Structures are given as C-alpha cells and as structure tokens.
Amino acid sequence: MDILTCEHLKKTYHGGGEPVCALDDVTLGFEQYSFTAIVGKSGSGKSTLLHVLSGLDRPTSGKVTYLENELEKYNDNQLSVLRRRRFGFVFQSYNLVRELTAQENILLPVMLDGRRPDEAYLNRLIDILDIRPRLSHLPGALSGGQQQRVCIARALANKPSILFADEPTGNLDARTGDEVLTMIRTVGKELGITLILVTHDLGVAEASERIIRLEDGRVADDSWSGGMHP
Ligand SMILES: Nc1ncnc2c1ncn2[C@@H]1O[C@H](COP(=O)(O)OP(=O)(O)OP(=O)(O)O)[C@@H](O)[C@H]1O
Ligand SMILES: [Mg+2]
C-alpha cells in the first residue's frame, strides 16, 4: 500500500530573473514501511521534491496525497498540524536549540503539541539511537554524529509515519555517517516508519531499498534493489 503519492508535480520558482522549473511532472508512490533514497546532481530538484512531498512547500501544480488526505485541500494551519503529527524531518544541519539539553530538545515537539510523551516508545528510540548517556548534555557538548542522532530522535518523538531526511549524513565523516544511517534504517524497521531520504552519497543510497534519480526536475531512474519491491 502506498502511504504517500504525488501526481504530475510541478514546481516553478519565480525569483528575479528567468523562472526555474525545479520539478517537472513528477509522479511517484511510496510504499508504507519502505526505505527510498532520492539521488541526483546538485540542482536536480531533490530538496524541492522533499519539501513538496512533506507539505513544507506547495507545488505549482499537481497533487500530493498522504493516505486519503490530499494536502492541497489543507490550509496552512491544518497542514502544519498534519506535518507535526505524521511527518518527521531531519536536515543536514543539526538545528537543535542550544539552550536546551538533548532530552529537552527531543521532547520539544511533543510538548509543543500539548501531548504526553509515550515513555516506552521514547525509551526504545533513545536506545536504538544510543543517546541515553548524552541526554543531559547541551548540544554544544555533543559531537556532530551525536547531535544528528538527537535530531533524529526529535524528528521521531511524535511517532510520525514518515521520516524525511535531506542529506542527513552530509556533515559527518564517512564512518559516523554510516553509523547514523544504520540507526535510521533500524528505527524505520523496528518502529514501522517509512523512510524517504535525499543523499549525494551513493553508499547511503545503496543501503536503501529503492533509488529514485532526479535529473532536471524529472524522474530519470527508479529502481528497487534485488527484488525487494513488495
Ligand atoms: N527558493 C528558491 N528560489 C528560486 N530557485 C530555487 C529555490 N530553491 C531551489 N531553487 C532552484 O531549483 C532547482 C532545484 O533546487 P533543489 O534545491 O531542489 O536542488 P537539489 O537537488 O536539492 O540540489 P543540492 O544537491 O545542491 O541540494 C535549482 O535550480 C535551484 O537553484
Ligand atoms: Mg538539496
């Protein structure tokens, strides 16, 4: 079953000079619990696609559907509630709140949503991401890999169904990047989260089940690894 689909997505930016067509007729479906990597050259539209799929940005035309919900029918407020509850985001830069401990950062989205944390779920998350010994530290006292693991925990604290990540290992050395990637995979499998990840790193892409390659805003290639397509 597809948890997320997009049909005939177009995104054109009008800023200053010539309009830029960042997405040009993109139609895709994302299977629930699958792990997809989106690759392509710089400027091919990867981040734009992730932003439009996740409701962070609206397409110029075309539609995005999460389960039965057509995002275009949501107003900005409804969209931000859907995003906060159902989607998690991880970016290349860590953007943690510097004045809050790792634990407080992780709990922030749950608190903002006025809900009580699911302790058992959070404990599971903290163990998979191996950040328990660092929970009382401020971000400034954490390594890059540790900060990114805290970001992943924060992104998942509200038990989203989909985790979107844009170059999550882009600022990490190869070995730390591999560790973070393995944790993202484990989290996806064990907590039942669909993963959609943008990367420049072919090693990261190969760890996924499906690789979508963008070229000039179009899907140039879409392949599942070794018969993994359900
Ligand atoms: N806010 C914006 N205003 C105008 N043009 C933009 C904007 N954001 C992106 N673009 C343009 O849209 C195209 C796609 O950009 P996008 O950021 O999606 O590429 P990308 O594949 O993520 O690249 P990178 O690998 O460098 O992150 C590029 O030509 C870019 O210059
Ligand atoms: Mg990008």
The side-by-side arrangement of strands in the sheet containing 61-66 is 20-31, 2-13, 61-66, 69-70
pLDDT per residue as tens digits for the range 140-186: 999 999 999 999 999 999 999 999 999 999 999 999 999 999 999 99
Ligand 1 atom showing the smallest separation from residue 23 Cα: 14
Q: Is residue 230 part of a domain?
A: no
Torsion, Cα of 202, 36, 22, 203 (10° steps): -10
Euclidean distance between CA atoms 230 and 228, whole angstroms: 6
What single-letter DSSP state applies at residue 121?
H
Residues whose beta carbon lies within 6 Å of some atom of ligand 1: 13, 15, 20, 22, 40, 42-48
Domain that holds residue 177: 2-224
Length of the chain: 230
Give the residue whose CA is nearest to atom 31 of ligand 1.
43
Query: Pick the residue with more confidence: 116 or 230?
Result: 116
Q: What is the pLDDT of residues 48-89, one digit of tens each?
A: 999 999 999 999 999 999 998 999 999 999 999 999 999 999
Structure tokens at 138: 């401020």
Asked whether residue 229 is domain-assigned, the answer is no
Q: Are 130 and 90 in contact (CB under 8 A)?
A: no
Whole-number pLDDT of residue 15: 81
Q: How many domains does the chain have?
A: 1
Note the pLDDT of residue 161: 97
Q: Indicate if the pLDDT at residue 114 is higher than 60.
A: yes
Q: Is residue 79 part of a domain?
A: yes
pTM of the full structure: 0.94
Q: Is 121 part of any domain?
A: yes
Instruction: Tell me which DSSP letter residue 82 carries.
Output: H
Which CATH number do you get for residue 173?
3.40.50.300
184 CA distance to ligand 1 centroid (A)?
25
